[in-house]
Amino acid sequence: MQVAVISLALLAAIGAAVLLVAPLRARLQFWLWQFWASVQRRARLARSATVISSSGEEIELPDAVLADIPWTGRIRESLSNTRLRVVSAGILLVVSILLVLPRLLPETRADELTVLVAPFYETGSVSGTTGRRAAVELAELLATTSGPGVTVRSVDVAPDDLVAAQALIQAYRADLLILGEIITGGMLDAPTLTPVAIYAPEGIQASYSLDGFVGRFAFPSVYPLATQPINGRVVIPRLVRALADYKRGAYSNAIATFDELERDYPALRPGLLRTLRAVIWWARGDYEQSVEEFQRAIAAMPDASPAELARLYASLGAVQYDMGDPASRESFNRAIALLQGQDLGALRYSLALEELRSGNPAAAAVSLEQARRLLPPSTPLLLTLARAYRLDGQLEAAAEMLNAAARQIDADDRDVPSDLRPLVSARLRASVQGERALLRLARLVNARGPLLWELDVTPPPWTQDRASSSPETELNAILSDLSLALREATTLNQEWNKRAATADTEQRRVDSSIATHQARRADLALRQHRFWLAAVEVELARLRDTRPPTGAAAIWAGLTRTWSPATDALRQIDILEKAQPGSAELILLRGKSLVVNDRLEEARAAFETAARLAPDRPEPLFHQALLILPQNRDQARQLLAAALDRDPNYFPARIRLAELAEEDQRWQEALIHRRWLAEQHPGDNEALALARTLRLSGPEGYAEAEQTLLPLVERNNADAIIELSRLYRAAGRNDAARSVLEQGRRNTARSTLAFADLSHELGQVLLDLGDIPLAERQFEAAVNSNPRHVYAHLALAQLARSAGNDRAAARRYEAALDAGASDPAVLEQIGTTLLELREYNAAVIAYERAISKQPASATLHYGAALAYLGVGRLDAAYESAQRALERRNAYPEALVLLGDIALQRGKLAEAEQQYRAALQQNPSLAAAHIGLGRVAATGGNWSIAAGHFLNAVQGEPQSPDALLWLGEARLRIDDIDGAIAAYSEALRLRDNFPEAYFGLAQAEYGAERIEEALRNVIRALELRPSYAEAALLMGKIYERQGYSTRALEAYKRATDINPRLAEPHYRRALLLIRADRLNEAREELEVATRLDPNFAEAHYWLGRVYFAQRNFQAALKRFREAVNRQGGAYPEARYYQGLAEEQLGDLNAAIRSFEMVANQSNDTLWAGEARAALARMSDR
């Protein structure tokens, strides 16, 4: 601006001189006249002519006019206008002066380090001759010794404070202001100067070319340069030279000087040196060293203001963020505290990047908007803001920011040295082009979440209507954008590598390492563009018809092995995997490509590998579920649920679970997922899906469904109108359904696809109303509006078949195929019907197309499922779990299943091993914690088991199963109230939960709440009539109430349900003993001990029965078995063992038994009995 003002002033002066000085004015007029006359002659535009007569006389003909076309004449006339000529000459003069004069005037060049030297204060902070002389001397010294790229100026007056210093720097567009204090009478070449640097780089900076630098780093302005007086003549020129080298990108020279200065001059305060050295280390990719340097810089500036230190902490946090160190948050918090309510653009930028990394793009967008107000415009900032808006679903705002970023590129590449401008331009163009491609993709899928997740939705999120080629066209345009970005990034990578090689040959190691790191960052961007290129290729393959070539094309493909629907995607993935072996992201994408190619076994192996490499990610489980779904829905559901366990926000799994629940008519489960999607992944489609599920769930959902649809119907959303009509039909309000559809048709143009959809739906309503002719006309209207309306063709086919016209029906089904039917279920219906009609050729087409769309479907390929595992068949369950592990190594749920099988087989060590292996893969897996608890419980360690069950509840608080087991453990350790609370919470989460009712009944039984226990155990048996344990508990309750007959019946019911259950036999035996039915009791107890050899009480009572029947030998055997099963601590059984031994005449053994009971038993009853027996025997 200053240059322009000076130029205009000089122009005015020259103009005034020309106009006021008569000789100059006359000479100028003569020159202009001569020039213009020559122009007229050459252009033959003169309005007069000169001829030579026969006498030789020259005659001027003023009115002679050359013959021209009219517009030429007008131009000639305008150019002959004197006033116009003068104005044009003036404009030409102004432009010339503005272009040429600034180059002739002294100015501050943006690519030079501009240094201001202010007079130094003298001792006591006073102005004096010494300080002024030293400042002038230093300025002259710097001007002569600093070399190229440095401009030095002196200022007359030292600024009074930092604000004045910064204003001075801005006024001169300077980078560095040197001021400070000198000892009165001191000399510059003696240790008398205590300088201070105000460093605020301006203009062109090489550091702006570094990817990731602009906007993210903030540095202090004030740097005291010495702790005690230094020799200014020696130190300051070297420092200025180093700063100039840093500015122009000669980092090797700069860092060498920084190191020398800090080493050679201990009195030099190294805050500035360490700060810039930290940036250089960051630029080299040595983040740890950079962090250390920033920390040393902070330590070197103990007297810096809080705001200055905040800048260093913000920069430190930026480096820690780049290295993935969680300590970055601590640095940012420290910066926030130091700012004391002030704001800092770089900090806002870094916080936004953290928010993006943590998956909170809305908060990131807010932070970036604040940063945008605080920072100068820059392409990276605008691109990051565009990305945040895109990820938050604000696609229009993202487009606005992206356009602003594209406009900013030219301004940004002017901020770096000329040799770096092509690199900056290439990097920014590649970034803008790549982000533009992702934004177009986001618009195509109406993204409201991570793009890769949107692409995981099956079928693809865009329409499959073949009447419109827009999705394919748009995907091709996205591929073009990504290809351009890839080309720019490739060029950038190559250029940085060239610079690295050049620097190496010149022994500039630091410059080489920086260029190498920039090449590495360019390579990362290149890989990202290539990854998205492959991802879009996969989606394009999914969208296109992927049937293999035929005829000569098939022969060529077989010879060259080049054909596949996603060949380009696989080729890109192969390139990426060479640089990124073992990348779960790439292996996932490979698996998706293989699915498109119908190479399902290879795809399954890819997903298993991805799951092993990324055990916390949901996507591998989701894709495995899609592959296994046609063979095993239960296993697929488990995989999908496990995917949600890994990340509850992974909406593709939630969508598929909702669809499966709807297919199985588990409406409440479906509504849980649909409501979550409507709230957390909102959109018209989600609202429509929720309304549909509410309708299908029954009349109780109709009101909510209507309220969900009405806002969409008011916008004349055809899908919402159709869904509302179906809702009214379900409610028996066919007239209302007809009315809403007719209103929708009136508001919709006949040429639109929506009109065809509305007509088809109206035809369905008219069928319900019994008006078949009018319904048929509506279906015909739908076909006329959209000849590719598959469902209208199907409706007309069904009407034709109902009328007995099978030939017409077949033609309609074939028309549906020609219309592009692509839904596998519809194709299967068409194929099945065409088979019934003996239209085999058309049926083959239908099935082939269905298989191309759903290649994993066993039904379409072979027509039946391969196998299902039965509940309780341990061998089959084991084989199934092993197959699951063979397909996918990292499969914690399968490991838990193996553990459960081992536990039921009594192999506790093996079970524990499987559970712990599962927890290594998924530490929060409740089923694995439950398994460990069951192992501990089987060993009798219920306190330890309770801890495992509590871990399960904490891992999955909404798990009714975890709460059930926690209740069981608490019951076993006599925490009755805790058990009741756990069971009640389980029932709150799952109302129809017979096991929880049983557990609650057990707890209430233990708490002497008999009636409540009876009600709950009866409820458990109502929900599960084959619940043997509940029947056993009911028997105990009846026994407690004194209803022996009912108890016997309940115990009998338990044994009938589960003949392998020992306790009901034992309980029946006790009741039979009381009824003096010893033979029956003996039979029950023998069964109990056979079923459970460790059942000490059953052994004991069987011994009592034998004893009562005077079968002392058999009784002795059972008593000994009971004592052994209890580890010797069974005084009652040992006492009766003594009695049996006494009856058999083994008195010594009897005495030992009685003594054991008398000496070791804490049971005074049996101890007293044993002492009495010993006394009796001693009297013999």
Indicate whether 87 and 117 sit together in one domain.
no
Token pair in block for residue 795: 């409706």
Q: Which residue has the tokens 């805790």?
A: 978
The greatest distance separating any two alpha carbons of the chain, rounded to the nearest whole angstrom, comes to: 187
Counting Cβ atoms within 10 Å, is residue 647 exposed (0-12), middle (13-18) or buried (19+)?
Answer: middle
Q: What is the pLDDT of residue 246?
A: 94
With a cut of 90, say whether residue 311 has pLDDT above it: yes
Q: CB–CB of 706/713 below 8 Å? A: no
What sign for the dihedral angle of Cα 24, 27, 30, 36? negative
Q: What is the pLDDT of residue 869?
A: 30
Closest CA to 437 of 398, 408, 469: 398
Helix orientation angle between 1131-1143 and 1112-1125, rounded to the nearest 10 degrees: 150
Q: How far is CA 144 from CA 268, 735, 972, 1033, in A?
A: 23, 96, 91, 103
Please check whether residue 582 lies inside any domain of the structure: yes
pLDDT confidence band for 852 (50 / 70 / 90): low
pLDDT in tens, 254-297: 999 999 999 999 999 999 999 999 999 999 999 999 999 999 99
- Residue 1117: which CATH number? 1.25.40.10
pLDDT confidence band for 1123 (50 / 70 / 90): confident
End position of a domain, from candidates 841, 863, 885 = 863
Phi, psi torsion values for 224, nearest 5 degrees: -60, 130
Please check whether residue 1025 lies inside any domain of the structure: no
**Given 3-state DSSP classes, what are the helix, strand and coil percentages for the chain, each rounded to the nearest 5?**
70, 5, 25
441/533 Cα distance (integer angstroms)? 11
Bigger pLDDT: 10 vs 570: 570
Closest CA to 245 of 231, 257, 236: 257
Phi, psi torsion values for 197, nearest 5 degrees: -110, 130
Phi, psi torsion values for 47, nearest 5 degrees: -90, 5
Q: What is the pLDDT of residue 240?
A: 95
Token pair in block for residue 644: 């949600």
pLDDT confidence band for 549 (50 / 70 / 90): very low
pLDDT in tens, 439-457: 999 998 888 878 899 899 8
Please check whether residue 477 lies inside any domain of the structure: no
238/260 Cα distance (integer angstroms)? 10
425/492 Cα distance (integer angstroms)? 9
The top-scoring range by mean pLDDT among 62-66, 838-842, 981-985 is 981-985
Counting Cβ atoms within 10 Å, is residue 746 exposed (0-12), middle (13-18) or buried (19+)?
Answer: exposed
Q: What angle do CA 17, 20, 24 make, to 5 degrees?
A: 65
Q: End-to-end alpha-carbon separation of the chain, Å?
A: 130
Q: CB–CB of 223/128 below 8 Å? A: no
End position of a domain, from candidates 316, 336, 360 = 360
Q: What is the pLDDT of residue 838?
A: 57
With a cut of 60, say whether residue 81 has pLDDT above it: no
Q: What is the pLDDT of residue 917?
A: 85
Please list the residues that pair with 114 across neighbouring strands: 151
Token pair in block for residue 419: 């040799």
Indicate whether 17 and 35 sit together in one domain.
yes
761/715 Cα distance (integer angstroms)? 18
Token pair in block for residue 573: 């993935």
Closest CA to 1006 of 975, 960, 1027: 975
Domain range enclosing 1074? 1064-1180
Q: Which residue has the tokens 């084989």?
A: 879
Indicate whether 153 and 249 sit together in one domain.
yes
Please check whether residue 456 lies inside any domain of the structure: no
pLDDT confidence band for 301 (50 / 70 / 90): very high
454/441 Cα distance (integer angstroms)? 10
Q: What is the pLDDT of residue 60?
A: 47
pLDDT mean over 818-846: 70
pLDDT confidence band for 153 (50 / 70 / 90): very high
Q: What is the pLDDT of residue 841?
A: 66
Q: β-strand 58-61 against 49-52: which pairing, if any?
A: antiparallel
User: Which residues, at least 6 apart from 1113, have a Cβ–Cβ distance to it below 8 Å?
Assistant: 1140, 1144
pLDDT confidence band for 550 (50 / 70 / 90): very low
pLDDT mean over 933-962: 86
212/605 Cα distance (integer angstroms)? 38
Catalogue the E-assigned strands of 410-529: none
Please check whether residue 339 lies inside any domain of the structure: yes
**CB burial string 927-943: b at 16+ within 10 A, e below:** bbbbbbbbbbbeeebbe
Token pair in block for residue 1150: 């009897």
Least confident window among 831-845, 957-971, 1051-1065: 831-845
724/746 Cα distance (integer angstroms)? 16
Residue 1104, amino acid: R
Indicate whether 73 and 121 sit together in one domain.
no
Indicate whether 281 and 135 sit together in one domain.
yes
Bigger pLDDT: 387 vs 910: 387
Task: Report percent pLDDT > 70 for the chain.
Answer: 82
**CB burial string 87-107: b at 16+ within 10 A, e below:** eeeeeeeeeebeeebeeeeee
Least confident window among 11-15, 342-346, 631-635, 745-749: 11-15
Indicate whether 126 and 77 sit together in one domain.
no
984/1007 Cα distance (integer angstroms)? 15
Q: What is the pLDDT of residue 603?
A: 92
Indicate whether 217 and 355 sit together in one domain.
yes
Residues across the chain: 1180
Indicate whether 177 and 309 sit together in one domain.
yes
pLDDT in tens, 128-139: 899 999 999 999
| Side-chain-side CA neighbours of residue 891 (13 Å) | 29
Indicate whether 232 and 278 sit together in one domain.
yes
Closest CA to 29 of 89, 114, 80: 89
With a cut of 60, say whether residue 104 has pLDDT above it: no
Q: What is the pLDDT of residue 650?
A: 94
Q: What is the pLDDT of residue 909?
A: 86
With a cut of 60, say whether residue 548 has pLDDT above it: no
* Cis peptide leading into residue 459 (ω within 30°): yes
With a cut of 80, say whether residue 45 has pLDDT above it: no
Token pair in block for residue 68: 């021209």
With a cut of 80, say whether residue 850 has pLDDT above it: no
Q: What is the pLDDT of residue 965?
A: 86
Q: What is the pLDDT of residue 12?
A: 54
Helix, strand or coil, per DSSP, at residue 108: coil
Indicate whether 142 and 81 sit together in one domain.
no
Q: What is the pLDDT of residue 63?
A: 44
End position of a domain, from candidates 360, 379, 404 = 360
Q: How far is CA 107 from CA 9, 95, 151, 412, in A?
A: 16, 19, 9, 22
Please check whether residue 1173 lies inside any domain of the structure: yes
pLDDT mean over 513-536: 93
Mean pLDDT (the chain) is 83
Q: CB–CB of 837/800 below 8 Å? A: no
Q: What is the pLDDT of residue 26?
A: 52
Q: CB–CB of 375/381 below 8 Å? A: yes
374/342 Cα distance (integer angstroms)? 11
Please check whether residue 713 lies inside any domain of the structure: no
Residue 545 region, left (φ>0) first, then alpha (ψ -120 to 50), else beta?
beta
Q: What is the pLDDT of residue 174?
A: 92
Residue 559, amino acid: L
pLDDT confidence band for 339 (50 / 70 / 90): very high
Q: How far is CA 825 from CA 256, 704, 857, 1174, in A?
A: 72, 29, 11, 85
pLDDT mean over 474-492: 92
With a cut of 60, say whether residue 1 has pLDDT above it: no
pLDDT mean over 650-659: 94
pLDDT mean over 779-807: 84
| Side-chain-side CA neighbours of residue 153 (13 Å) | 22
Indicate whether 89 and 194 sit together in one domain.
no
758/846 Cα distance (integer angstroms)? 26
| Side-chain-side CA neighbours of residue 5 (13 Å) | 3
Bigger pLDDT: 717 vs 869: 717
Q: How far is CA 373 from CA 115, 348, 378, 381, 388, in A?
A: 29, 10, 11, 11, 16
Bigger pLDDT: 71 vs 834: 834
Number of structural domains found in the chain:
5
Token pair in block for residue 1171: 């002492």
Indicate whether 321 and 198 sit together in one domain.
yes
With a cut of 80, say whether residue 80 has pLDDT above it: no
Please check whether residue 81 lies inside any domain of the structure: yes
Closest CA to 178 of 213, 137, 216, 219: 137
